[in-house]
């Protein structure tokens, strides 16, 4: 600065700015040096009295000094508030490890996990879902399924009776008869999940109540190959692409031929382990071609129509998939058990 | 059915087949083999001869033996068996032997070297039921002529056998016969089958009369035999019986069992001299006390099949004979019965009396009604051979049943069509021939199949297709997905809504449960909080705990909640949906139980469950189904004895009570282990919700103009329901009150005890920007209506 007075003010101002350390001090410095009544500003009012040449130079120097002071104060204030904010934020560090608010879903009994999953798979294959009553007549539970009066399966030992000819269904197969009668001779493609009852004492592997999913397809020219392919699709979807199935001849009164379906053991990939008792296979469901007598009794001409049926135990599938140690767990509803089945995968 | 490989090989060529291979073949032909076991096992076994037997110097029960092992020289063995003695021939497990319970190695027992072990049959794995007490306590004593140094000890003892345990399914009772198992194995492996037949010639004409006065006996044949001698059975029969799980008694009893195991036909023997007369008549109309062979008395009732002589019960058909005419050591003159009885009837009698036997089981499952002559010829042969039987009568028979149709007509195309296979005519014909069918080929693949006499299960073309596939294997079936018109599988409306409700409650964080449908009589009467209906009750429950089909889930779900609380799980939100059946209705129910605290942030922030939590759950169910709150309402519920009369409500929909919920009544706490935890319960009948009409909601225009809010607070009669106040406010200003939210309710100090203070926030809006005057007019209108109806005192 040419003007030593201005230079003096500027130096003083800089000195004050340097030693200041709070927003308040800066504000008072600003007002001391730059307010209307300040030395600098009062010098501004003397401009008019000067010669034009002198006025120009003096005015520029005044403005320059004013801007310099103002700018360095603003910079300092910004610097300071940034620092203060940083200090404030640093003090606000929380313990992110504390418990969160609860937004998880409930636990689904693995029984329902499996049931819903099987239903979804068959819906995807174009099956509908049928329901039927748990209290059934002797006729639907047995007779219409080709189980004659003297068949051992009808024993009082195995069935809960309500009266001589009313009982708790022992399988979901009676729904087959209901559906066939309602469909009145048209093609059928249904599954039916449902509770069933047998006169068994409850222990780790037996339950007086359990559930099955029944499947039934009726159309022209249906054969075992169709059953095999349908179950292959189901098994791969349910237990993984690597699972293979194997059919073994068996016997059910309402199918002919009848098969037991084994899948390669998921635990050992079919090599043989303790889970599959060294066989490499695990029995998973039963099925077969609908017996001509069953078709006939329920309104289908077995010369024209044929069909296949199968049944799978829901708890059995859940036990296999999750390694559940006791069938009674499904009915205990211990939340420590249920909460293990929250994930959707 | 236990099948000895050794016995089986007498009737079918098994050369080159291991027991495991036979088992695998049977399993994949539909006859599951549950287990393959050995009668006895052991390696490094040799027959030895005890040359010396001295007391062990340092033991009061051990002996030190010198045993001659023939080509293996003489070994010193320390033995603890009480019957060890000089001169005895014994089974020695030499060093290195592998036995059922471990391996034999050279050792020193109390300072004396021992190289091997003398064995009992128990140690070779023979089931103790075949052994005498002496045999289980000491080492096996071999015959004095047993060959010293012989290695094939199991062969020498007839114990070198494997036993298959066959699971016989209901359609194949014919396989409860070793002959028929042999035929089956022959068919599976294409092996030669050799079933012996016996010629029979009567020595005299009997005056025995047989018959039946009930249709529960379709066939009854008798053979009279004189001058027989009761004694022990020959060795081959003892061994055959043992390998198939039957213990030898004497030659007469053993012949009965042996013939049954081979032919599948149960037999019964009467002491002819003890019968009241020379008649055996089957009846089912007796009600008497029956003294049976086991010397116990059983009550015979109307309907039980009984074989009578002079109207006295001599045998409980197919189950057990009478003590009166039992064959014993002194019997010389017998009558042999080969009959067929109705399975269902035998089953009822045997399960009522708790008497089940190999015989009764065969009748229950079904026997061949047309083989009595062959069977009795076989019996006669054995009686002659083993019991010195000399005089045999003619066979007298009663038969009231014609042979069933033994022909099935089918075709190659039918069989292939059903199986999804491409078998040729000859493949099918040959396969059936292996199984004993005689097949004649006709035009266009027509096949006429003559069913073998022993196959009781084959009666239609579908059965023939099964025979073909179970022998040729399911690997021949081509996997093809069923082709039909493409269609979408879909849940029906009720199924879809039930699933939607379950998914929603799970997403809210409630846990989904599953409980038993059967409850005790006592508990079935409790917690019918919605309605009480007539329930189904079991005739034959297993326990009192599971006797009645519930019509409400509530009790069962509370039990699950109580179980959890007892296991320290004290914050619970549980639900279950299930189909309820009563004598008058069937519908899906939803039950919810809330117990303890709702954990917002674990235990750092939690709040006790209250009435409004449950109410919120109910409302949310309506919301997700698209049912507006104007279509349902809650009503105070004071008459459910399990619920708190001041904190419970009914859910009313379509003018019907479809749900009840509220806090558990203090007196109900004694039923469970909830301590002091708050418990809320809901039972909702979903039938009307699943069927309710719900329209697709068209988009409602959202106003472009801002709304304003104004608060209002006033004192009002305590009894006025908050919902009525809100309803009134909403209609009081020509639809300009868009919303009215209660934000505070206060009762207590500084307020008239009959009144409560309510604070409400109004949201006011219209189709234009409101002026201050319009807003004030709306507020005034609200105040006016409130005053008119409830004479409120404004506070703000």
| Structural domain ending residue among the three candidates B645, B661, B691 | B691
In the prediction, which pLDDT does B133 show?
A: 85
Q: B288 vs B283, B295, B303, B330, B349, CA distance in Å? A: 12, 15, 12, 28, 14
Phi, psi of A146 (to 5 degrees): 70, 25
B584 interfaces chain A, CB cutoff of 8 Å: no
Contact at CB, A127 and B417, closer than 8 angstroms = no
Q: Is residue B203 in some structural domain?
A: no
- Residue B796 in this model has a pLDDT that exceeds 70: no
What single string gives the DSSP state of each residue in B86-150? Answer: TT-EEEEE-TT-EETTEE---EEETTEEE--EE--TGGGT--GGGS-HHHHHS---B-TT--TT-
Tell me which residue in B480, B506, B512 faces A225 most closely, judged by beta carbons.
B480
Q: Do residues B30 and B78 share a domain?
A: no
For the ranges A186-190, A252-256, B180-184, B440-444, the lowest mean pLDDT is seen at B440-444
pLDDT above 80 (res B486): no
B785: exposed, middle or buried (Cβ count in 10 Å: 0-12, 13-18, 19+): middle
Closest CA to B251 of B332, B313, B343, B359: B332
Q: In this structure, what token pair is assigned to residue B284? A: 């089912």
B277 lies in the same domain as B383: yes
Q: Min CA distance, B354 vs chain A (Å)? A: 12
Å from A225 to nearest chain B CA?
4
Q: Are residues B578 and B655 in the same domain?
A: yes
- Cβ within 8 Å, pair B516-A168: no
Residue B613 contacts A, CB cutoff 8 Å: no
Q: If 0-12 CB within 10 Å is exposed, 13-18 middle and 19+ buried, where does residue B451 land?
A: buried
Token pair recorded at residue B610: 């209250």
Whether pLDDT at B745 is above 90: yes
Among B691, B716, B741, where does a domain finish?
A: B691
Count of domains for chain B: 6
The answer to whether position B487 is within a domain reads no
On whether both B286 and B232 belong to a single domain, the answer is yes
What mean pLDDT comes out for the span B149-174?
A: 90
B711 vs B777: CA distance, rounded Å? 14
Average pLDDT over chain B reads 93
Co-location of B123 and B229 in the same domain: no
- This complex has an ipTM of 0.87
Residue spans of the domains in chain A: they are: 4-91, 111-338
Q: How distant is the Cα of A313 from the closest Cα of chain B, in angstroms? A: 15
Residue B91 lies in a domain: yes
Whether residue B194 is contained in a domain is answered as: no
| pLDDT score, position B331 | 93
Partner A contacted by B215 (CB < 8 A) = no
Give a three-class secondary structure readout of chain A.
CCCHHHHHHHHHHHHHHHHCCCHHHHHHHHHHHHCCCCHHHHHHCCHHHCCHHHHHHHHHHHHHHHHHHHHHHHHHHHHHHHHHHHHHHHHCCCCCCCCCCCCCCCCECHHHHHHHHHHHHHHHCCCEECCCCCEEEHHHHCHHHCCCCCCHHHCCCCCCEEECCEEECCCCCHHHHHHHHHHCCCCEEEEEEEEEECCCCCCCCCCCEEEEEEEEEEEECCCHHHHHHHHHHHHHHHHCCCCCEEEEEEEECCEEEEEEEEEECCCCCCCCCCCCCCCCEEEEEEEEEECHHHHHHCCCCCCCEEEEEEEEEHHHHHHHHHCCCCCCHHHHCCHHHHCCCCCCC
**Which tens digits make up the pLDDT trace of B203-250?**
999 999 999 999 999 999 999 999 899 999 998 999 899 888 898 899
State the angle between helix axes of A314-322 and A110-124 in degrees (0 to 180), rounded to the nearest 10.
Answer: 110
What does the angle CA B215 – CA B217 – CA B220 come to, to the nearest 5 degrees?
135
- Which residue bears the tokens 């009764």? B360
CA atoms B81, B82, B84, B89: torsion sign: negative
Instruction: Give pLDDT, residue A153.
Output: 65
Count of residues for chain A? 345
Shared domain check, B55 and B31: no
- Cβ neighbours of B32 in A, within 8 Å: 248, 250
Instruction: Verify whether the Cβ–Cβ distance B511 to A339 is below 8 Å.
Output: yes
Domain with B565 in it: 493-691
Specify the DSSP element, H or E, that contains B589: strand B586-595
- Architecture of the A111-338 domain: 2-Layer Sandwich (3.30)
pLDDT digits (tens, 9 = 90+) for B45-91: 999 999 999 999 988 889 999 999 999 999 999 999 999 999 999 99
In a domain, B767, yes or no: yes
Are the Cβ atoms of B477 and A116 closer than 8 angstroms? no
pLDDT at B378 over 80: yes
The model's confidence at residue B130, banded by pLDDT at 50, 70 and 90, is confident
What's the confidence (pLDDT) of residue A122? Answer: 96
CB of B561 within 8 A of CB of A338? no
Q: Which H or E run contains B351?
A: helix B343-353
| Distance between CA atoms of residues B247 and B229, nearest Å | 20
In eight-state DSSP terms, residue B232 is P
Q: Examine the domain organization and report whether B502 and B460 are in the same domain.
A: no
Chain segment B715-734, per-residue pLDDT in tens: 999 999 999 999 999 998 88
Q: How confident is the model at residue B570 (pLDDT cuts 50, 70, 90)?
A: very high
Could you give the CA distance from residue B392 to residue B380 in angstroms, rounded to a whole number?
A: 7
Domain edge (last residue) among B665, B691, B717? B691
Which residues does chain A have within 8 Å of residue B605's beta carbon, measured at their own beta carbons? 101
CA A34 to chain centre: 67
3-state DSSP call for residue B528?
A: coil
Which of A122, A230, A247 is nearest residue B482 as measured by Cβ atoms?
Answer: A230
Torsion sign over Cα B544, B545, B546, B550: positive
Q: What is the pLDDT of residues B244-291, one digit of tens each?
A: 889 889 999 999 999 999 999 999 999 999 999 999 999 999 999 999
Same-domain check for residues B535 and B680: yes
What CATH number corresponds to the domain at position B259? 3.50.40.10
Q: Which of residues 347-366 of B touch A (CB under 8 A)?
A: 347, 351, 364-365
CB contact under 8 A, A292 and B460: yes
| CA atoms of B350 and B319, how far apart (whole Å) | 7
Query: Based on the domain organization, do B558 and B463 belong to the same domain?
Result: no
Residues 6+ positions from B782 with CB-CB distance below 8 Å:
B712, B729, B732, B733, B737, B762
Residues A169, A134: Cα–Cα separation, whole Å: 6
Tell me whether B721 touches chain A (CB under 8 Å): no
- Name the strand (E) or helix (H) holding B163: strand B162-166
Q: Which of A255-259, A279-283, B99-103, B749-753 has the highest mean pLDDT?
A: A255-259
Question: Which stretches of chain A drop beneath a pLDDT of 50?
Answer: none
A331 close to B516: Cβ distance less than 8 angstroms = yes
In a domain, B177, yes or no: yes
The pTM assigned to this predicted structure is: 0.84
CATH number, domain with residue B744: 3.30.70.380
The domain spanning residue B446 has which CATH number?
A: 3.30.56.10
Q: Which residue of B has its CA nearest to A103?
A: B509
Cα(B157)–Cα(B45) distance, integer angstroms = 12
Which residue, B85, B92, B82, B80, is CA-closest to B51?
A: B85
Residue linked to tokens 């059995």: A316
* B359-381 mean pLDDT: 93
CATH number at B150 reads 2.40.50.140
CA distance A251 to B784: 81
* Minimal CA separation from A91 to chain B, in Å: 22
Give the separation between CA B245 and CA B261, rounded to whole angstroms.
Answer: 10
Domain shared by B539 and B628, yes or no: yes
Q: Stretch B597-621: mean pLDDT, rounded?
A: 93
Residue B749 DSSP one-character state: T
Residue A302: closest CA among A289, A287, A320, A315: A289
Contacts of A123 in chain B (CB under 8 A): 489-491
Average of per-residue pLDDT across B600-627: 94
The mean per-residue pLDDT over the stretch B507-515 comes to: 97
Instruction: Inform me whether the C-beta atom of residue B506 falls under 8 Å from chain A C-beta atoms.
Output: yes
Inter-chain touch B569–A334, beta carbons under 8 Å: yes
Select the residue from A163, A218, A225 to test the B interface by mutation, using most B Cβ atoms within 10 A.
A225
Torsion of CA B166, B172, B178, B182, to 10 degrees: -90
């Amino acid at each position: 600065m040419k003007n030593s007075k201005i230079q003096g003010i500027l130096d003083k101002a800089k000195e004050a700015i340097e030693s200041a350390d709070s927003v308040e001090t800066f504000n008072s410095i600003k007002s001391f040096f730059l307010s209307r009544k300040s030395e600098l500003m009062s010098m501004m009012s003397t401009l008019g009295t000067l010669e034009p040449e002198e006025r120009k130079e003096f005015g520029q120097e005044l403005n320059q000094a004013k801007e310099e002071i103002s700018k360095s104060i603003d910079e300092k204030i910004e610097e300071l508030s940034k620092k203060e904010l940083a200090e404030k934020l640093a003090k606000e560090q929380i313990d992110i490890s504390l418990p969160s608010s609860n937004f998880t879903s409930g636990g689904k009994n693995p029984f329902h996990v499996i049931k819903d999953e099987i239903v979804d798979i068959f819906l995807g294959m174009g099956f509908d879902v049928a329901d039927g009553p748990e209290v059934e007549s002797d006729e639907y539970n047995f007779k219409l399924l080709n189980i004659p009066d003297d068949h051992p399966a009808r024993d009082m030992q195995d069935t809960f009776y309500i009266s001589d000819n009313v009982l708790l269904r022992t399988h979901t197969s009676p729904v087959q008869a209901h559906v066939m009668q309602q469909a009145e001779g048209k093609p059928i493609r249904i599954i039916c999940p449902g509770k069933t009852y047998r006169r068994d004492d409850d222990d780790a592997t037996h339950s007086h109540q359990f559930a099955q999913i029944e499947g039934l397809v009726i159309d022209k020219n249906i054969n075992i190959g169709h059953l095999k392919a349908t179950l292959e699709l189901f098994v791969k979807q349910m237990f993984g692409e690597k699972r293979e199935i194997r059919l073994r001849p068996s016997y059910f009164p309402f199918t002919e031929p009848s098969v037991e379906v084994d899948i390669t053991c998921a635990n050992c990939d079919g090599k043989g382990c303790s889970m599959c008792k060294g066989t490499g296979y695990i029995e998973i469901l039963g099925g077969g071609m609908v017996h001509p007598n069953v078709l006939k009794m329920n309104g289908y001409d077995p010369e024209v129509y044929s069909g296949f049926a199968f049944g799978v135990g829901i708890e059995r599938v859940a036990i296999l998939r999750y390694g559940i140690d006791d069938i009674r767990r499904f009915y205990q509803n211990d939340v420590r058990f249920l909460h293990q089945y929250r994930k959707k995968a | 059915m236990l099948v000895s490989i050794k016995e089986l090989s007498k009737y079918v060529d098994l050369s080159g087949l291991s027991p495991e291979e036979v088992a695998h073949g049977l399993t994949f032909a539909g006859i599951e083999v549950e287990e393959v076991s050995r009668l006895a096992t052991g390696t490094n076994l040799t027959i030895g001869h005890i040359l010396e037997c001295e007391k062990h110097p340092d033991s009061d029960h051990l002996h030190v033996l010198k045993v001659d092992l023939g080509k293996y020289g003489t070994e010193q063995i320390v033995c603890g068996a009480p019957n060890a003695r000089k001169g005895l021939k014994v089974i020695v497990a030499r060093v290195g032997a592998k036995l059922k319970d471990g391996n034999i190695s050279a050792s020193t027992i109390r300072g004396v070297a021992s190289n091997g072990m003398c064995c009992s049959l128990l140690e070779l794995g023979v089931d103790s039921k075949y052994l005498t007490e002496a045999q289980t306590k000491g080492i096996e004593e071999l015959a004095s002529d047993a060959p010293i140094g012989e290695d094939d000890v199991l062969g020498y003892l007839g114990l070198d056998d494997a036993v298959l345990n066959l699971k016989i399914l209901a359609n194949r009772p014919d396989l409860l016969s070793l002959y028929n198992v042999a035929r089956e194995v022959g068919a599976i492996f294409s092996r030669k089958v050799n079933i012996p037949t016996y010629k029979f010639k009567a020595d005299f004409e009997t005056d025995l009369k047989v018959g039946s006065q009930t249709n529960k006996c379709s066939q009854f044949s008798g053979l009279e035999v004189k001058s027989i001698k009761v004694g022990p059975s020959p060795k081959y029969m003892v061994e055959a019986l043992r390998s198939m799980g039957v213990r030898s008694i004497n030659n007469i009893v053993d012949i009965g069992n042996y013939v049954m195991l081979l032919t599948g036909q149960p037999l019964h023997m009467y002491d002819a001299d003890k019968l009241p007369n020379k008649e055996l008549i089957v009846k089912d109309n007796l009600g008497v006390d029956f003294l049976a062979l086991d010397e116990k008395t059983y009550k015979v009732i109307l309907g039980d099949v009984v074989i009578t002589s002079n109207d006295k019960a001599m045998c409980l058909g197919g189950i057990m004979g009478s003590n009166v005419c039992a064959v014993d050591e002194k019997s010389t003159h017998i009558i042999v019965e080969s009959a067929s009885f109705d399975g269902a009837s035998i089953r009822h009698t045997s399960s009522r009396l708790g008497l089940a036997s190999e015989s009764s089981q065969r009748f229950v499952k079904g026997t061949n009604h047309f083989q009595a002559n062959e069977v009795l010829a076989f019996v006669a042969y054995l009686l002659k051979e083993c019991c010195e039987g000399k005089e045999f009568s003619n066979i007298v028979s009663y038969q009231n049943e014609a042979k069933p149709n033994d022909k099935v007509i089918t075709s190659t195309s039918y069989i292939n069509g059903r199986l999804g296979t491409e078998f040729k005519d000859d493949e099918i014909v040959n396969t059936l021939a292996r199984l004993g069918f005689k097949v004649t080929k006709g035009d266009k693949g027509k096949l006429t199949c003559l069913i073998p006499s022993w196959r009781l299960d084959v009666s239609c073309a579908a059965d023939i297709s099964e025979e073909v596939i179970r022998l040729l294997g399911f690997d021949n079936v081509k996997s093809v997905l069923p082709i039909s018109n493409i269609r979408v599988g879909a849940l029906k409306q009720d199924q879809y809504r039930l699933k939607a409700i379950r998914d929603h409650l799970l997403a809210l964080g409630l846990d989904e449960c599953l409980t038993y449908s059967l409850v005790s009589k006592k508990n079935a009467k409790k917690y019918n909080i919605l309605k009480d209906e007539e329930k189904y009750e079991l005739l034959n429950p297993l326990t009192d705990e599971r006797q009645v089909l519930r019509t409400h889930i509530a009790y069962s779900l509370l039990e699950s909640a109580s179980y959890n609380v007892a296991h320290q799980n004290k914050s619970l939100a549980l639900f279950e949906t299930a189909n309820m059946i009563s004598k008058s209705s069937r519908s899906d129910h939803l039950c919810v139980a809330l117990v303890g605290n709702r954990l917002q942030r674990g235990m750092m922030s939690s709040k006790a469950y209250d009435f409004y939590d449950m109410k919120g759950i109910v409302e949310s169910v309506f919301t997700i189904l698209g049912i507006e709150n104007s279509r349902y309402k809650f009503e105070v519920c004071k008459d459910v004895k399990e619920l708190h009369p001041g904190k419970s409500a009914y859910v009313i929909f379509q003018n019907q009570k479809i749900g009840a919920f509220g806090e558990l009544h203090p007196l109900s706490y004694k039923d469970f282990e909830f301590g002091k935890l708050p418990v809320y319960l809901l039972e909702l009948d979903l039938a009307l919700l699943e069927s309710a009409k719900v329209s697709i909601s068209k988009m409602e225009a959202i106003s472009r103009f801002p709304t304003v809010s104004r608060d209002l607070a006033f004192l009002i009669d305590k009894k006025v329901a908050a919902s009525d106040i809100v309803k009134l406010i909403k209609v009081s200003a020509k639809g300009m009150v868009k919303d009215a939210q209660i934000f505070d309710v206060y009762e207590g100090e500084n307020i008239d005890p009959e009144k409560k203070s309510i604070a409400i926030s109004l949201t006011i809006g219209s189709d234009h920007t409101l002026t201050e005057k319009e807003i004030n007019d709306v507020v005034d209108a609200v105040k006016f209506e409130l005053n008119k109806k409830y004479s409120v005192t404004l506070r703000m």
